[in-house]
Structure 1
């Protein structure tokens, strides 16, 4: 099954399947997640010269 870039999905385990990242506030390298950064990264980068951006932190 294919998902859209930036899709949020719930899983019944505590790790991210292939091609997913956990929504736990982690910092990602822009160079390794270019599609996701193009979609949401510009709103999450604090300064333009940074090489990383943060994923949202979601809790239940």
Structure 2
């Protein structure tokens, strides 16, 4: 997440991890989904070789 913040992005936790926390299930989520507000090209450049472009053509 530090890298996302360094790119100037805001980050939101979304999906099942939020549901699990709100339902107070007493266990850590198995996965964490994030929503960000940075353009795909910025993400690809900022994460370099770690980035996998799986749909930037679909992003608006």
Q: What band does the TM-score fall into relative to the shorter chain? A: under 0.3
Q: TM-score, normalised by structure 2?
A: 0.26
Looking at CA atoms only, which structure, 1 or 2, has the larger radius of gyration?
2
- Higher percent of residues as helix: 2
